[in-house]
């Protein structure tokens, strides 16, 4: 009997953790945190970042991103229940009550992340972290998502602010390397997300969300993704003119080339299967780009 009760307790704990991971969109938060730390590591500046600064930056970005992700789910409960991909989210299922206490918790989470960055890093980094959360939580979720296909284009600036936050830890002044990577993240987000939107085309149409595939169709969207990715890859090569060297160039060309290859496949066959492959290719491209940038700076910088 004791063993059975213990097993039930562990099961409940596991379910709760899974619900929180879902609510806070921790996968997105981890991508943003890793991006911020990578940019911190490659940004030239008057000071050398410490391990503790990296840890604090990662936690601050993760907390603010979690706050914005939870707010997104709180505001979109009505949409989420219409789509199979999101109908198991905790505010839809009733696992978490749709109460104002959750809004307060999200605000506290954001304030803790921003305050942590402000006190331990600097106020400019804290400002960028705050702006990233507001862009995703308010600009994208509240203002744009239900109104225009440009929602994810403008909302993509949230990732750009993570880049600028990482750079600001080393040098609060805007310099070419972080600005270029901020543009890269801005361009990366639509190519990344529109691929998923093709997969979820019918769900978005049913929910009345004006994602690009719903507005112009999957094939036309695939062409837009390819054009956007061409701009993304071209911009991603520019850091070699501002201090990064051949290791980074090799990574940018390899990751970018693979992403473009998947984009071309998507134009030829804009099916959900190929769109999902393109979605994962976008993640590979970003990871390769950041990893080779860090290695380049550590070995050749």
Which whole-number Å values give the CA distances from 214 to 11, 36, 149, 200, 202, in the listed order?
Answer: 40, 32, 9, 10, 8
Q: Does the residue 19 lie in any domain?
A: no
Q: Does the residue 220 lie in any domain?
A: yes
- Give pLDDT tens digits for 37-53: 999 999 987 777 889 99
Q: Does the residue 237 lie in any domain?
A: yes
Q: Does the residue 57 lie in any domain?
A: yes
Q: Does the residue 22 lie in any domain?
A: no
User: Which range marks the domain in which residue 231 is found?
Assistant: 27-300
Q: Does the residue 56 lie in any domain?
A: yes
- Give pLDDT tens digits for 257-300: 999 999 999 999 999 999 999 999 999 999 999 999 999 999 98
Which residues, including other chains, have CB under 8 Å from residue 53's CB and lie 6 or more apart?
40, 120, 121, 169
- For residue 5, pLDDT beyond 60: no
For residue 47, the model assigns a pLDDT of 73
Q: Does the residue 5 lie in any domain?
A: no
Q: Does the residue 200 lie in any domain?
A: yes
More confident: 82 or 12:
82
Structure tokens at 213: 């595939």
Stretch 8-18: mean pLDDT, rounded? 61
What is the total count of domains within the chain?
A: 1
For residue 1, the model assigns a pLDDT of 43
pTM of the model: 0.92
- Give pLDDT tens digits for 184-233: 999 999 999 999 999 999 999 999 999 999 999 999 999 999 999 999 99
> What's 289's domain CATH number?
1.10.357.140
């Amino acid at each position: 009997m004791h063993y059975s009760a213990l097993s039930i307790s562990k099961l409940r704990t596991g379910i709760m953790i899974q619900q929180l991971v879902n609510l806070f969109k921790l996968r997105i938060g981890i991508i943003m945190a890793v991006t911020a730390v990578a940019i911190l590591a490659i940004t030239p500046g008057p000071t050398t970042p410490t391990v503790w600064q990296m840890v604090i930056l990662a936690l601050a970005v993760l907390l603010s991103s979690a706050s914005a992700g939870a707010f997104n789910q709180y505001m979109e409960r009505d949409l989420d229940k219409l789509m199979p991909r999101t109908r198991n989210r905790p505010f839809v299922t009733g696992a978490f009550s749709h109460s104002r206490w959750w809004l307060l918790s999200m605000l506290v989470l954001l304030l803790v992340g921003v305050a942590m960055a402000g006190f331990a890093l600097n106020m400019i980094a804290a400002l960028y972290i705050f702006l990233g959360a507001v862009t995703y939580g308010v600009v994208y979720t509240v203002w744009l998502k239900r109104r225009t296909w440009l929602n994810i284009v403008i909302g993509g600036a949230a990732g750009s602010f993570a880049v600028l936050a990482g750079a600001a830890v080393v040098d609060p002044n805007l310099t070419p390397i972080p600005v270029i990577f901020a543009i890269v993240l801005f361009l990366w987000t639509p190519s990344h997300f529109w691929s998923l939107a093709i997969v979820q085309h019918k769900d978005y149409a049913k929910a009345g969300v004006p994602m690009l595939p719903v507005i112009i169709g999957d094939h036309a969207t695939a062409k837009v993704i390819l054009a956007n990715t061409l701009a993304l890859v071209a911009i991603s090569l520019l850091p070699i003119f501002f201090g990064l060297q051949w290791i980074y160039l090799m990574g940018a060309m390899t990751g970018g080339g693979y992403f473009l290859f998947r984009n071309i496949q998507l134009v030829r066959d804009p099916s959900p299967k190929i769109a999902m492959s393109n979605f994962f290719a976008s993640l590979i491209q970003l990871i390769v780009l950041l990893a080779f940038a860090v290695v380049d700076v550590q070995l050749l910088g």
